[in-house]
Structure 1
Amino acid sequence: MKFISWNVNGIRACVQKGFLDYFKEQDADIFCIQETKCQEDQITLDFEGYYQYWHSAVKKGYSGTAIFSKHKPVNVSYGFNGKEEDIEGRVLTLEFDTFYMVNVYTPNSQRDLARLPFRLNWEDEFSGYLKKLDAHKPVILCGDLNVAHHEIDLANPKSNSKNSGFTQEERGKMTSLLENGFTDSFRYINPTKEGSFTWWSYMNKVRERNIGWRIDYFIISNRLQTNLLNSEIHSNIMGSDHCPIILTLDDQLIK
């Protein structure tokens, strides 16, 4: 099975920059996007053979998640605890017979860390949600987690040590999640690979020089390690300030 995750930073803009061609070429089983920045009725995406699920923010032009799946889920959940992130469209979960697919756009702590306390509380609640799901069946979590976990996951760790997305507090929440039954699929396969990033600032030539961050992930329940075939980054794909990431699991998962 092929899974793709991509923060498109506005699906309507991304469609004008090659999204449709990439979607069709990849032929993924499940394709998740974050930061849709639109309501479902503001765009028509005719993907034959796919079920579409959208969780848009109440505020137009902001946040939002969506999943396109060849497989019909047995249940769909929007948000996870009825609080602010629900109206921001940040969490979308599809339940299948043998696993949960969770698509997330994690809140940013903001440049001045004004939203860090909210973010850390959100992390605790979201982690609890994932653990509850994992107690029933394996979880595949994907999306923009807005954190570079280790120094290897960004180009300039020293100058960013107190910045949003690389604070000790945010990194600690990721460590805690992974210590409680989950695996960073990319690092599991590529434990020492450097220069592998998924987001670059729009500043002049930053992407060209690969001065980036790895903040987009496929996190899987530990027991799915035996199903894991590949986890990769398509850094050559433009259309957003993020690039797509790909997870490949063996077909036994869906049976």
Structure 2
Amino acid sequence: MKLISWNVNGLRAVVKKGFMEFFEAADADIFCLQEIKLQEGQIEMDLPDYYLYWNYAEKKGYSGTAIFTKRKPLSVQYGINHVNHTNEGRAITLEFDDFYLVNVYTPNSQHGLLRLDFRLEWEEAVLDYVKELDSRKPVILCGDLNVAHQEIDLKNPKANLKNSGFTPEERGKMTEFLASGFTDSFRYFHPDLSGAYTWWSYRTECRPRNIGWRIDYFIVSDRMAPNMEQAKIHKDVLGSDHCPIELELK
């Protein structure tokens, strides 16, 4: 089974930049999107082989998630059961026979860390939510998690120690999450690979020079890790400031 996750930074925009070509070539069983930046009815997706699920933000042109799946889920849930995180369209959960799939778009702490407290509250809520699901059946969590976990996960770690996405608080939450019984799929296969990034700033030609961050993940319940076949980063797929990532399961 093949799963793809991609922060598209505006689905309407990326559709004009080759999205469907990659979508068709990838032929994923489950395709997860973050930051779709649209409202209901603003795009027509002709995907007859897929069930489509959308979670829109109340604010127009902001946030939002979607999942396209060939397998019909047993149930669907929008959000993470937290009162402060209900209006930004940041999560969709699909339940299948043998696992839950949770697609998330983690809030950015913003310049000056103005939203760090909101972000850390989100992290705690997601961990509680996913652990509860994991008590029932294994979980695959994917999406833009807006954190480079270790120094190997970004080009210039020392220069970013106090910046959004690499603060000790955010990295600590990722460490806590993984220690709770979960595996970072990419590091499972590539524990020491440097220069493997999923996001590049649009400023100063960062992408051609590979000055990037790895902030997009597939994270699985530890007991599901032996079922993984490979984890990939599609760094050459353009159209967004993020690139797609892939997980294959037996």
Percent of matched pairs sharing the same residue = 64
Could you give the per-residue CA deviations for residues 48-95 of structure 1, whole angstroms, max 9, x where no partner exists? Answer: 210000001011100000000000000000001242322100010000
Corresponding residue number in structure 1 for 2:85: 85
Matches of 1:85 and 1:210 in 2, distance apart? Answer: 33
2:122 maps to what in 1? Answer: 122
How many correspondences in the alignment? 250
Partner of 2:22: 22
| Alignment check: 8 A CA contact 1:85 1:91 kept | no
For residue 108 of structure 2, what is the aligned residue in structure 1?
Answer: 108
Alignment-mate amino acid for residue 140 of structure 1: I
Equivalent position amino acid for 1:11 in 2: L
- Map 1:1-255 to 2 at 5 A: 1-250=1-250
SS state of the match for residue 40, structure 1?
coil
Task: Measure the CA separation in 2 of the matches of 1:61 and 1:194.
Answer: 34
Deviation at 1:23, TM superposition (A): 0.3
Quote the RMSD (CA, aligned, Å).
0.7
The CA deviation string for residues 120-157 of structure 1, in whole angstroms up to 9 with x for no partner, is 11111110000000000000000000000000000000
Check conservation: 1:105, 1:144, Cα contact below 8 A: yes
Q: Structure 1-normalised TM-score?
A: 0.97
Note if contact 1:11-1:36 (Cα within 8 Å) is conserved in structure 2: yes
Structure 1: give runs of 5+ residues left out of the alignment: 251-255
Which runs of 4 or more aligned residues in structure 1 lie more than 6 Å from their structure 2 counterparts after TM superposition? none
| 1:85 alignment partner, SS class | coil
Q: Is the 8 A contact 2:82 2:125 kept in 1?
A: no
2:38 partner amino acid:
C
In structure 1, how many angstroms separate the alpha carbons of the residues matched to 2:8 and 2:37?
9
- Which runs of no fewer than 5 residues in structure 2 stay unpaired? none
SS at match of 2:246: strand
TM-score (norm 2): 0.99
